Amino acid sequence: MISPAIPPAELENVLYEKRGPIAYVTLNRPKVLNALNQGAWDDLKTAFERVRDDDAVRGAILTGAGDKAFIAGEDISELARATALDAEKSTRSGQAVLDLIENVGKPVIAAVNGFALGGGCETAMACTIRVAAEHAKFGQPEVRLGIPPGAGGTQRLPRLVGKGRALQLILSGEMITAQEAWRMGLVNEVVPAADLLARCEAILAQILANAPVAVRFALEAVNKGLETSQSAGLLLEASLFAICAATADKTEGTAAFLAKRPPRFQGR
């Protein structure tokens, strides 16, 4: 049964609903191709704080309303009026929201159902996994507006696709197809638009069949390990491995394997 959406008065730009252990977060500004203004950033923050804090939620799918755009970028009318101080504040705010999504401790799948440009591409990159509809388009066109990417594009894109490919996209402002994004490693899969949500749900089902604590710590090990040296990352991995080894889920997982039965994980 679908739980009630957050009242519109609380979230004007985002739809939030739960179906079982999955939270569905939809940026809901289709008239402007789901462009990000400050209100949208604030609502995304509220939605993913709810994902983080709700123990019944074990994963999330993030998408955009309509069939034209995931998120088509920043709201240019708002950007055009911004002073340097405004821009610095809004950039740091957007970066904080995407850090929250990336480190929410639960898998987040971006269902990219159209244009993912600028802040939209950056939002998708903050997700754990990206699945794109065949008609989706990706790009970091900020230089065409006289600015560089400001919500993590200069940092996450090189980590995903390599420095050379990232710089080509960032410096040219080129828009690429979903197929090209898959070829370079920016997206995990490309599927027909009609299958997009079902495929995201299927991937989450595979993940959620596993031990919740192990999934959370595996996410943390990868995310934090990429920010440090390999030796420091290995130390973090060993520490998290040791913590998991003391959980009831490890006891259940190993017992189930030896007994040749499905495990019944409790997340503890």
Q: Residue 170: which CATH number?
A: 3.90.226.10
Count CB-CB contacts under 10 A for residue 43: 24
Whether the per-residue pLDDT at 1 is higher than 80: the answer is no
Clarify whether residues 166 and 251 are in a common domain.
no
Residue 3 located in a structural domain: no
Residue count (the chain): 268
Average pLDDT over the chain reads: 93
Q: How confident is the model at residue 152 (pLDDT cuts 50, 70, 90)?
A: very high
Count of domains for the chain:
2
Clarify whether residues 66 and 172 are in a common domain.
yes
Note whether 137 and 169 are within 8 A (CB). Answer: no
Instruction: Give me the mean pLDDT over the 221-241 stretch.
Output: 94
Residue 8 located in a structural domain: no
Residue 264 located in a structural domain: no
Residue 149 located in a structural domain: yes
Clarify whether residues 37 and 113 are in a common domain.
yes
Close Cβ partners of 33 (under 8 Å, ≥ 6 residues apart): 64, 66, 68, 69, 71, 72, 114, 115
Distance CA 86, CA 32 (A): 22
Whether the per-residue pLDDT at 2 is higher than 60: the answer is no
pLDDT at 84: 86
- Concatenating the DSSP letter of every residue in 91-149 gives HHHHHHHHHHHHTSSS-EEEEE-SEEETHHHHHHHHSSEEEEETT-EEE--GGGGT---
Clarify whether residues 187 and 222 are in a common domain.
no
Question: 19-52: per-residue pLDDT in tens?
Answer: 999 999 999 999 999 999 999 999 999 999 999 9
Clarify whether residues 176 and 245 are in a common domain.
no
Q: Could you tell me the residue range of the domain that residue 226 belongs to?
A: 212-259
Clarify whether residues 198 and 100 are in a common domain.
yes
| Percent above pLDDT 70 for the chain | 97
Active site residues: 122, 142
What element of type H or E holds 26? strand 22-27
What element of type H or E holds 189? strand 189-191
Instruction: Give me the mean pLDDT over the 147-167 stretch.
Output: 96
Residue 222 located in a structural domain: yes
Distance CA 62, CA 16 (A): 10
pLDDT at 88: 85
Clarify whether residues 68 and 193 are in a common domain.
yes
Whether the per-residue pLDDT at 122 is higher than 60: the answer is yes
Instruction: Give me the mean pLDDT over the 221-250 stretch.
Output: 94
Burial of 177 (0-12, 13-18, 19+ CB in 10 A): middle
Task: Please name which of 113, 117, 250 lies closest in space to residue 195, comparing C-alpha atoms.
Answer: 113
Clarify whether residues 30 and 54 are in a common domain.
yes
The CATH number linked to 216 is 1.10.12
Clarify whether residues 220 and 172 are in a common domain.
no
Clarify whether residues 168 and 230 are in a common domain.
no
Clarify whether residues 132 and 152 are in a common domain.
yes
pLDDT at 9: 45
Residue 166 located in a structural domain: yes
Residue 201 located in a structural domain: yes
Whether the per-residue pLDDT at 230 is higher than 80: the answer is yes
Instruction: Give me the mean pLDDT over the 155-180 stretch.
Output: 97
Instruction: Give me the mean pLDDT over the 55-79 stretch.
Output: 92
pLDDT at 169: 97
Distance CA 139, CA 122 (A): 9
Task: Please name which of 102, 111, 106 lies closest in space to residue 131, comparing C-alpha atoms.
Answer: 111
Whether the per-residue pLDDT at 5 is higher than 60: the answer is no
Q: What share of the chain is helix, strand, coil (3-state, %, to 5)?
A: 50, 15, 30
Predicted TM-score (pTM) above 0.85: yes
| Percent above pLDDT 90 for the chain | 87
Clarify whether residues 56 and 38 are in a common domain.
yes
